Chains A and B, each alone.
Chain A
Amino acid sequence: MSARDALARRRSRRRRARRERSRRPRRSARRSAALAALTSGAFALPGLAPAASAQESFGRYSAEYAYSRYSEDPLPKSKVPTGGERDRFEVDMHQMHLGGPLLDRVDLGLDVVHEKMSGASPWYVIQGANGEPLQVMSGATIEEARTDALLEATLLFDRGQASLGGGISSENDYFAWNGSLRGERHFGEKTTTLSGGAGFSIDSIDPVDTDLFPTRPSHEQKWSTSVFGGISQVLSREAALQSTLTYQREQGYLSDPYKQVLVAGNPVPDARPDSRNQLTWLTRLRHHVSPVHGTLQADYRFYADDWQLTSHTLEVAWDQAIFDALHLIPSFRYYSQSQAEFYGPWFDATGDGLHSSDYRLSPYGAIAWKIKAETRFATGSVDWRAAFAWQRYLSSGDYALGKVSVANPGLVSFNLFSVSLTARF
């Protein structure tokens, strides 16, 4: 071997070594990116946790804020007595969520809601000169605020997770504290997930102005317990289904202390049974349509309780991705409920002592549509999401599935505007 050949071989070995050195990190980077995609794909499966943000942000810090303006339409002149109050509720709502890892497999999340409400609310219904129902509103404008805080710890297992939460809700005449425990277990290659949990709430109400309205109770309590069970199933590479059954039992004071009802021509306090058993069956379908970069989100809910009130809700949304950075999400919601067995616009006689003219227990239907625009972008290691949404909600006896002979005059229609900003890092 000549000295020239030996030199050429040494140079060739050095070039190969340099190429190997420069390749190694790239291969490693490709491997970790693939692994990250795989684990995030398996981890972030919809329905593997009740709240999507929990999956998306597990192990990451997240901060979210949303402001909403809820505004009810004034009642039409034809629905109130001559010269009667027509304006209704307006609410400014602030929502905040903070979350992040506390320990290796434990995440902590805090949700706080603060809202300020003002306006008048339906009081009782009277009969007009032609027999038509007319809504009498509460005379004074109500000003109040509600603060709600919920702290939840989530423990991640290899094949599932468990969450323990507790919170409070407070208004000037109301206080509640609640707790919940829920968990889920994955089966197969995380194609099936079973979830379940239980919760409770203890509510106290101390109505105001009891000196002006002596029939109003001064202090009442309500206890609620609920359990749920659900299944989430991956149907295909682009479709998933979730079905959940929730049962809730309420006991205690379930009437509305601020509402009255006309019985034999006289306004008397709203009076409802002291227990309520409620059942909700909610099924959700998600289906991505790759050729058009859109996703169908369809939810159906059936509800029934032992007050003989049943309802059907269908909500359909289409999430259209535009260059992946902008999402336009129009949605439509239909709702229809039957009346509670002790509901009536007014009553001729006391009967069994249970009576309410609350429009929320009356037969009616509602339609709502919403348009939402959401943008997603990243700056450094922070992923941002900003969204704006407007919703219009209309309710009427004419929208109900069944025939409604006398619609409640207090049925509500509203606008809802909201903006939100989310950061994950």
Chain B
Amino acid sequence: MRRLALALLPCLALAGTACAPVRPWERDVLARPEMAFVPDPLEAKRSDHIYFSKEGSLPGGEAGGGGCGCN
């Protein structure tokens, strides 16, 4: 139990610093296009489609949409 607590301590400390409050007026950098999780949606759809049809895995991030006759 003590070992578990010791192991979790750095994680909790990291989580604490990581989630320091950021006020709405401090988000100019976060609003930049390159900070988006999908900076270029057309490019992301293209890549997902190619990897989906040429590799064995499923793209992640959302659900449904698209497809091809390429089982």
Q: Are B69 and A174 in contact (CB under 8 A)?
A: yes
CA–CA, A160 to B70, complex, Å? 36
Number of A-B contacts (CB under 8 A): 231
Number of interface residues of A (CB under 8 A): 111
CA–CA, A234 to B26, complex, Å? 11
Report whether over half of chain A's contact residues are helix, strand or loop; otherwise say mixed. strand
Number of interface residues of B (CB under 8 A): 49
Q: Are A234 and B64 in contact (CB under 8 A)?
A: no
Identify A240's interface contact among B30, B43, B68, CB under 8 A: B30
Q: Are B64 and A311 in contact (CB under 8 A)?
A: no
Chain A: minimal CB distance from B62 (Å): 5
CA–CA, A257 to B55, complex, Å? 17
CA–CA, A200 to B65, complex, Å? 7
Q: Are B56 and A360 in contact (CB under 8 A)?
A: yes
Query: Which residues of chain B are near A97, meaning CB under 8 Å?
Result: 41-42
Q: Are B21 and A199 in contact (CB under 8 A)?
A: no
User: Can you list, as one digit per residue, whether each of B44-71 has a CB less than 8 Å from chain A (1) or not (0)?
Assistant: 0110011100111111111111111111
Chain A: minimal CB distance from B14 (Å): 10
Identify B65's interface contact among A178, A321, A416, CB under 8 A: A178
Query: Which residues of chain B are near A141, meaning CB under 8 Å?
Result: none
Chain A: minimal CB distance from B45 (Å): 7
Query: Which residues of A does B touch, CB under 8 Å?
Result: 37-38, 40-47, 50-53, 55-56, 64, 66, 68, 70, 93, 95, 97, 111, 113, 146, 148, 150, 165, 167, 169, 171, 173-174, 176, 178-180, 182, 188-191, 197-201, 203, 205, 222, 224, 226-228, 230, 232-242, 244-246, 248, 253-257, 272, 278, 280-282, 284, 286, 288, 290, 295, 297, 301, 303, 305, 309, 311, 313, 319, 321, 327, 329, 335, 337, 340, 360-361, 366, 376, 387, 389, 412, 414, 416, 418, 420
Query: Which residues of B does A touch, CB under 8 Å?
Result: 18-43, 45-46, 49-51, 54-71
Please provide the 9 A-B residue pairs with the shortest distance between their CB atoms, ordered closest to farther: A199-B64, A52-B36, A174-B69, A282-B60, A180-B64, A280-B60, A199-B63, A226-B63, A41-B27
